[in-house]
Amino acid sequence: MTGPAPASQSLSRTIEIPACVLSVDDLRKLFLDLDAYTREVTGAQIDTLQPAPGVTLGDFTRFKSQAKAEAGLTMYAHGRDGELVTLHGVDTITREILPDALVNITFDSAARFRATVGYEPLNKFSLILDFREPPSFAYYNPWDQPTPSLSNFMISGNDRTWVGGVSEKVLSFLRGRKRRRLWLHGATAFNFLNWLIGLPASFWLIYRLDNVTTRLVSGLPPVIRSAFYIYLFLVALFAFRVLIYFLRRVFPLTELEGSRSKAVRATGYTIVVGLLSAFIYDVLKAAFK
């Protein structure tokens, strides 16, 4: 129906997105905005298409009109059990249609243009929102690596004004839903918390349990008693690491509103505040004796 794809020179960007919490209404608003950006640029490209030899002007005019109607945004929602939900309209975006265990959502501006016209649009973008929980310790070392995340915004095109404008509008939208939790998912903060809180708290816990442990190991040789205290220290330090890992899971980098239990968060908050309060109280009491 159309001639060959045009040659082009494009600008390409890949941008990390901020830690944010999005509601289903936010997804609808984002879809409407991104669909408008998509139709703006695909419609302009469709207007420049030339018919293939043998195609009548009437047929080609109808084709371009249909292509403009079809070449909008596509939203893909992937679930943990392999579900794939493909959406083309804002009215279809509901909490019920999304997978219960949501892995990621992708907004793709090129898929429908590609299917309709037969080649890539000159200007396109892909926004990936990664809702996965952090992997287990077996798959990454949280002390040396930040929490893995595939969330990013990729955009390319030969229209620099469009590329820059869409990039800024998308990032501005996501910054409006930003949460201050990126620090929690960084390797630097993890190590900083370990040295500043984890190690002192582990020593403090050994001190608080001293009366109990003394009775347990009173009849054992000195070397065994020393080893037992070292063992307790290592267990306490590991428990601190597990606590930070737990906080990473309940406060993820990218979150769909309502997907985390408020009761679990409240329990974690209570544990953290209780332990820190007792630790600080003992430190201050010892300092002012």
- pLDDT tens digits along 108-161: 999 999 998 888 899 999 999 999 888 877 777 777 788 888 999 999 999 889
Name the residue with tokens 């109607």.
69
Domain boundaries defined on the chain: 11-179, 184-287
The whole-number average pLDDT for the span 31-45 is: 94
pLDDT exceeds 90 at position 274: no
Which residue blocks in the chain are alpha helix, DSSP H?
24-47, 57-70, 111-117, 160-175, 187-193, 199-208, 210-217, 222-250, 262-287
What's the pLDDT score for residue 287? 63
Which residue blocks in 132-198 are alpha helix, DSSP H?
160-175, 187-193
Mean pLDDT across the chain? 85
Contact 15, 172 (CB under 8 A): no
pTM for the full predicted model: 0.83
What's the pLDDT score for residue 243? 84
**54 Rama sector, left if φ>0, alpha if ψ -120 to 50, beta otherwise:** left
Q: How far apart are CA 24 and CA 99, in angstroms?
A: 13
The DSSP symbol for 48 reads: T
Q: Give residue 175's pLDDT band: very low, low, confident or very high (50, 70, 90).
A: very high
* Nearest CA among 158, 90, 152, 78 for reference residue 124: 158
What's the pLDDT score for residue 208? 78
pLDDT exceeds 80 at position 280: no
Q: Give residue 76's pLDDT band: very low, low, confident or very high (50, 70, 90).
A: very high
